Amino acid sequence: MNDSREPIGVIGAGWVGLVTAACFAELGHDVYVRDIVQEKVDSLARGEVPIYEPGLSELITKHSDRLHFTVDMGDVLPNANLLFCCVDTPPSYSGDADLSRVERVVEEVGGSTDHALVMKSTVPVGTGRSIRRRSDSLGYVSNPEFLKEGTAVDDFMRPDRVVIGEDVNGATPFADRVAALYEPLEAPIVRTDVASAEMIKLASNAFLATKISFINEIANVSEELGANVDEVARGMGLDQRIGPQFLKAGLGYGGSCFPKDVTALKQLAGNSGYHFQLLTAVIEVNELQKRRAIGKLQKHLGTLVGKEIALLGVAFKPNTDDVREATSLVLAGRLQSEGAHVRVYDPVATERARDMLGGAQVKTSASEAVDGADAVVLVTEWPEFRELDWHDVKARMRRPLVVDGRNFLDGELLKQAGFTYEGVGR
């Protein structure tokens, strides 16, 4: 039990908001969670969690006495001074982040002198300054999240660092109070100004995306020069200045964060008159990886018109049912526009994706998906795909062609089993 309890408000019961709320409850605090969707609030109050995130529903059940779900901001404001803003900031058509949901929250709480908005939502650099200019009575703290889907609870409880940005004209206690909430986690706390905190978030995601596009280009060149990108990544990653993470070559990054944040940072730079050359290339390489996978199918199958292509995996990565900006959706669309018939299978994500897959057939097992297929493309590295009986898969397929988009399968084993195997940079 935490002896310095601080009632907390969480605005937005999406993925970030729920993880934040559940973890602060785990740290001993009462949390008032506000969402505008009545049905969501009702189901959360019954202990039903609308998203798939390991460990989250257990925490929400365990702390049902500390977690209060409501649609009414009036239930939050009298109870908590720190309001963690966790609403989403999706990309708009121009590539800029759409801040309308953040703006609505500011309108609702802007007049207060007792409250601070603690910004967890990913926002453009300069957002905090502009909110403060309009509502200078309201406290403002930037506290970006660095949670990964699938390990978010653990990332929250064992962070590499906590970033807290505040601009002060004289002493204000709000950022100190936010910092105190994180002290039990014993992680380095980076206290800085708001604009720098906002930039730390965008720059971290953009750097990780750059790392992925970099290793993807090394993979593409390795295919030409006869090197194996897995070996190259292993050798590079042992250099502590480089590190082994985010060096997995494949079909490129997806999800609700990297594509959005890389584009947003590039756009933000452009709006300020600076052309961010590197990020333009990062985005191009990410697109290229999908085209190259289709090229590998064409190399072996010729035209794709009428060909049956099985996509294994729909989620943007394993251990999540999130399909936002998922590679599978891009591939399904492009393959169909090439005239191929596409079938897909995913252990958890097909229901969410059903409406976004165009005419692709949704199958209920991997075996069903590969039946009569001319090629299999491994899109998401779910462990069950490694465990497949590949002899049985071969017997079911019309042609034994596997394009392993994540370098996840044992290529040598598949070749021995009689498959034509194409990895990425292998």
Q: Which is nearer to ligand UGA, 316 or 421 (CB)?
A: 316
Pairwise CA distance, residues 248 & 375, whole Å: 23
The two three-digit tokens of residue 118, written as one number: 């603690």
Q: 85 by DSSP, 3-state: which?
A: strand
Give the integer Cα–Cα distance in Å for 86 and 126.
18
Assess 286 for contact with ligand UGA (CB under 6 A): no
Name every residue whose Cβ is closer than 8 Å to that of residue 305 and which is 6 or more positions away in sequence: 338, 339, 340
Least distance (Å) between residue 216 CB and ligand UGA: 8
Closest CB to ligand UGA among residues 166, 261: 261
Closest contact distance (angstroms) between CB of 302 and ligand UGA is 29
The residue within the footprint of ligand UGA, chosen from 218, 247, 332, 373 (CB under 6 A), is 247
Residues 101 and 357: their CA atoms lie apart, in Å, by: 28
Nearer to ligand UGA, 5 or 291 (CB): 291
φ/ψ (deg, to 5) at 163: -110, 130
> Which value, in Å, is the radius of gyration of the alpha carbons in the chain?
23
Q: Which is nearer to ligand UGA, 149 or 422 (CB)?
A: 149
Which residues, 140 to 169, sit near ligand UGA by CB under 6 A?
145-149
Q: Which residues are CB-neighbours of 60 under 8 A, at least 6 positions away?
A: 18, 22, 25, 44, 47, 49, 67
Residue 255 interacting with ligand UGA (CB under 6 A): yes
Cβ-based nearer residue to ligand UGA, 147 or 265: 147
Cβ neighbour number for residue 240 with a 10 Å cutoff:
7
Q: Which of 9, 14, 128, 254 binds ligand UGA (CB under 6 A)?
A: 254
Binding mask 169-208 for ligand UGA (x = CB under 6 A): ------------------------------------x--x
Of the candidates 256, 254, 253, 271, the one whose C-alpha atom is nearest the C-alpha of residue 96 is: 271
Residue 423 engages ligand UGA in binding (rule: CB under 6 A): no
Cβ at position 281, least distance to ligand UGA in Å: 16
**Angle between helical axes of 194-225 and 277-301 (0-180°, round to 10):** 30
CB of 308 to ligand UGA, least distance (A): 25
Which residues, 6 or more positions from 154, have their beta carbon under 8 angstroms from its beta carbon?
55
Answer for the pair 330, 369: CB distance below 8 angstroms, yes or no: no
Q: What are the DSSP E strand ranges found in 97-256?
A: 116-119, 139-142, 162-165, 189-192
The residues facing 425 across adjacent strands are none
**What's the burial of 208, exposed, middle or buried (CB within 10 Å: 0-12/13-18/19+)?**
middle
Give me the amino acid identity at 209.
A
CB of 370 to ligand UGA, least distance (A): 22
Closest approach, Cβ 114 to ligand UGA, in A, equals 29
Give the CA diameter of the chain.
73
Binding mask 350-379 for ligand UGA (x = CB under 6 A): ------------------------------
* 84 in contact with ligand UGA (CB under 6 A): no
Which residue carries 């978030």 as its tokens? Answer: 201
| Residue 51 binding ligand UGA, by CB under 6 A | no
How many residues touch ligand UGA under the rule CB under 6 A: the total is: 21
Among 139, 250, 411, 423, binds ligand UGA (CB under 6 A): 250
Q: 148 or 399: whose CB is closer to ligand UGA?
A: 148
283/258 Cα distance (integer angstroms): 10
Residues 52, 55, 57: CA angle, nearest 5 degrees: 65
Q: Does 14 bind ligand UGA (CB under 6 A)?
A: no
Which span sits near ligand UGA by CB under 6 A: 92-100, 134-142, 250-258, 329-337?
Answer: 250-258
> For 89, which DSSP code?
-
> Binding to ligand UGA by residue 323, rule CB under 6 A?
no
DSSP-derived secondary structure letter, 311: E
Instruction: Name the residue nearer to ligand UGA (CB basis): 163 or 397.
Output: 163
Applying CB under 6 A, among 120, 177, 296, 317 the residue interacting with ligand UGA is: 317
Measure the CA–CA gap between 252 and 301, rounded to whole angstroms: 23
257 touches ligand UGA by CB under 6 A:
yes
Taking residues 202 to 221 in sequence order and writing x for each that binds ligand UGA by CB under 6 A, - otherwise, the string is ---x--x---x---------
The answer to whether residue 307 forms part of the interface with ligand UGA (CB under 6 A) is no
Catalytic site includes residue 23: no
139 lies in the binding site for ligand UGA (CB under 6 A): no
| Residue 407 CB, nearest approach to ligand UGA (Å) | 10
Query: Residue numbers of the site for ligand UGA (CB under 6 A)?
Result: 122, 145-149, 205, 208, 212, 246-248, 250, 252-255, 257-258, 316-317
Q: Which residues are catalytic?
A: 257
